[in-house]
Chain A
């Protein structure tokens, strides 16, 4: 028997390429005759283009063409266009120029005259909600969606809503959406202790290391694009949609992705822009996106201005949770963060009664999208310090109060009180407390050493951990190797390899005999989940397990056909298919592959299951005849939603004379089902938590309110955490309790750590400040020092983008 690969550290198949410079990311490709594109970005937060004069630029030697909004597909408000005549944020692309070299393209852009008429702009949702407040869009400031209506609307609150609110408390006018469980008023009525706070969470750019550069060319009627995307197969589908073309005419090469965190889930307008510009000038085009541009077009997490009121019984049980979220929507689309935030809160605390109200307001700031734990990271980082406050008032241990309210597998989630596949947050809290040494450390809470005071924090953070119903595609070739075709992306989670283990283990193959095929759509991909929302390990261990099960059955049938007996009498092992009763009687998988080709039909992919997605069918058909082809859809039963959990515990030290914050110790413990790849899991936990640290302590946006333009648009002003801003030796753990409703038992883990990391820090800082919740992120040096010194705070109570 070959050693099972699940639960074992392996060397990812792409690692050596990554550290020898051979791994090729989008900007590393060249094509014969390749030219360069540069974008002209709007200098105004909101404007109307009155006139574009590119004549001087086009007269320049080497300038090949200009692409404007006139050349791209129209989209309906509030969707994001590829290029625009009404820029709605500073930095939005208005046009793109192609030239034989990048310097010429840059000079050409500077010579294009764009006459812009400034329009009113809004940076702060609360200002836009004022009766006389500006709207970010000419069509209004919210996008209304209900069962029968989807339209832009102007949503304003009454002056009384603002005047009535006590200084510093979130004004709460008419919400745009809401839901309730039970009667929150009654719930708060029953409470022995109440905590109430206004909470401010910043918007922040994803800033993956690799900007979304793109290279595109047209060849023989096909569009070839080299892109940076999280999800290979799904990027191809959405880009085809964006360009209104058939998927067959589109080759997407996405072998490596330099990080996405939700900003590169599928196709991005710049991909279509590059393709269309290439089409227009008849040359391969490279759009080299810079960090400066990435800040504008690279997506961001929506900020919240929120208010929460929690009621607790004396035993610590949460009787009521009243939540109001004003969401900074950015200029386009409709972000689900606020909804998810409420759902996550309901799951984490299982309140007996809950009410959620919210409004998502358009602003003239860069487009938002999911950012690792969208909504979840914000709300957990914001609410956990309130739970601490309640624990203090009730004289309870802060782990205990979380343990008490957290759900077990029979818990519920969301407005419809949906069920869970399984959940072990209580156990995760126990394990974290043990690894972190909660009991010993909590004794140091608030103690000072010289000018440094210690704070201990804890955060409990769930997030959706998987989807279902995708396809797996495998080929056992005459070389005896198993080829696992992956349509998911490769952004460093190692999912391309780890989800393949479901197949290799089931077919009992040595890992060396497994070949993972990924990244290039010309190499035949199955219909796959997006590589986002922690779906992949769950969705594709299932899909590959289904395909491997089908492959095993085909092997058994081939063996039975050639060697007699019933298929069920045969077992796979060590690269062979053999009779259980007489292991000597069997054949190698190599031989079986040859036989499959000879037999044809279903065995070598000429006949396929009916329920496969068109993309999978096309890929399997292309592979037909190359070996034993197995293509199957994940139809395993799945009841309830799948959530993973991470507990973060941190010890921080705050210098009371400077406000400097140091994270001394950190422990992250996950409940994410079966552990497939320990080292990679640890990396996901720590990496996610570190992004949480960035949210909690340093990363931010800064906008000048007069001009509506940003300043914190570079790394040194946006301040993502560096290696010296995090603990030297963080610890981790995982429960490794399989989820009963998925074959391999693995749940996703990408998202939950972010909220855990953020909350552990906001909680620890509040603890160090004697329980004072600053209720705002990021907790930068100046914010902390102002709190300690009692000087004027560096921000107004509800101020955003500072």
Chain B
């Protein structure tokens, strides 16, 4: 299998020029194996999804619909997914033999993705709670608990999660790493193609360095194939559809909330009503409270 593509530069020195395209197929295969494997595993280990506790009703102070994703967050997610698919298609279809003028679409989508990510970083860290994605001690405990359940095969929902379960957080951070990888290398590579922004210049970096850039871009690119496959797979799994819906509509039901989340970790209040919190005083929009992570 070809992992790296090498070539002799004009002076006869060997340099990398990119990843071997076999890796693209490898990524596809891995993605397929994972989804299939996971599906089989779920079927064999878990029985039916544990029944949700009966709806305690409004008494619990939990609103009927718990806001999970604000409009801007959803917009970001779907725009990013469009950009991502555009990038993957323009990057890999030609390699697979489906040829069309892809370069412009690719870099435009890349620029779009970059802007979206920039906005998301700003939005999540300034306007919303940056730390909600942070993996804290509690998340680790939660992870262990889940692991224990899995091993003991215990059927009670076990430790329930905060707003973002550990697996979501881990996936998010992996995406951050890989995403930043393609974005940074991709922006560099734009210097080498004809764009309205600057004259084409292949000599910004030495050809050895360029080789590394191309290889990184390629590796991150194929990694995304696998990750996106897994992501889409989970989105369409029956027991996760409620999450997918929440990414479309923004909310989850009280029942879903209670069966999947720990109100202690993810404090919510009836939409629009004030609820006293440990932090006291300051009101917060339904969804996340400032104490989400501070109360331990």
Min CB–CB distance B200 → chain A (angstroms)? 13
User: How many residues of A are counted as interface, with CB atoms below 8 angstroms from the partner's CB atoms?
Assistant: 8
Question: Is B198 part of the contact surface with A, judged by Cβ < 8 Å?
Answer: no
Binary B-proximity of A698-710 (CB < 8 A = 1, otherwise 0): 0000001011010
Query: When the two chains form their complex, are residues B203 and A706 in contact, meaning their CB atoms are under 8 A apart?
Result: yes
Query: When the two chains form their complex, are residues B11 and A118 in contact, meaning their CB atoms are under 8 A apart?
Result: yes
Question: Is B53 part of the contact surface with A, judged by Cβ < 8 Å?
Answer: no
Question: Is B281 part of the contact surface with A, judged by Cβ < 8 Å?
Answer: no
Min CB–CB distance B240 → chain A (angstroms)? 54
Query: When the two chains form their complex, are residues B203 and A43 in contact, meaning their CB atoms are under 8 A apart?
Result: no
CA distance A43 to B10 in the complex (A): 8
Question: What does DSSP make chain B's interface, helix, strand, loop or mixed?
Answer: loop
CA distance A308 to B10 in the complex (A): 39
Interface residues in B1-55 by Cβ distance below 8 A to A read 10-12
CA distance A44 to B11 in the complex (A): 6
Residues of B within 8 A of A116 (CB): 11-12
Residues of A within 8 A of B12 (CB): 43-44, 116
CA distance A44 to B12 in the complex (A): 8
CA distance A706 to B12 in the complex (A): 15
Interface residues in A658-715 by Cβ distance below 8 A to B read 704, 706-707, 709
CA distance A474 to B129 in the complex (A): 108
Min CB–CB distance A792 → chain B (angstroms)? 15
Residues of A within 8 A of B11 (CB): 43-44, 116, 118, 707
CA distance A707 to B10 in the complex (A): 7
CA distance A642 to B11 in the complex (A): 48
Binary B-proximity of A42-77 (CB < 8 A = 1, otherwise 0): 011000000000000000000000000000000000
Interface residues in B264-291 by Cβ distance below 8 A to A read none
Q: Which residue of B lies closest to A707 (CB)?
A: B10
Binary B-proximity of A109-130 (CB < 8 A = 1, otherwise 0): 0000000101000000000000
Binary A-proximity of B193-229 (CB < 8 A = 1, otherwise 0): 0000000000100000000000000000000000000
Residues of B within 8 A of A43 (CB): 10-12
Residues of B within 8 A of A707 (CB): 10-11
Min CB–CB distance A602 → chain B (angstroms)? 64
Residues of B within 8 A of A704 (CB): 10
CA distance A43 to B12 in the complex (A): 6
CA distance A174 to B12 in the complex (A): 39
Residues of B within 8 A of A44 (CB): 11-12
CA distance A116 to B8 in the complex (A): 14
Residue in B10, B12, B203 whose Cβ sees the most chain A Cβ within 10 Å: B10
Min CB–CB distance A648 → chain B (angstroms)? 41
CA distance A704 to B203 in the complex (A): 13
Binary A-proximity of B166-193 (CB < 8 A = 1, otherwise 0): 0000000000000000000000000000
Min CB–CB distance A92 → chain B (angstroms)? 14
CA distance A704 to B202 in the complex (A): 14
Interface residues in B49-101 by Cβ distance below 8 A to A read none
Q: Which residue of B lies closest to A118 (CB)?
A: B11
Chain A: residues with CB nearer than 8 A to chain B? 43-44, 116, 118, 704, 706-707, 709
Q: Please, could you name 13 A-B residue pairs with CB atoms under 8 Å apart, sorted by A? A: A43-B10, A43-B11, A43-B12, A44-B11, A44-B12, A116-B11, A116-B12, A118-B11, A704-B10, A706-B203, A707-B10, A707-B11, A709-B10
Chain B: residues with CB nearer than 8 A to chain A? 10-12, 203
Identify the 7 closest CB pairs spanning chains A and B, nearest first. A43-B12, A707-B10, A44-B11, A43-B11, A706-B203, A709-B10, A118-B11
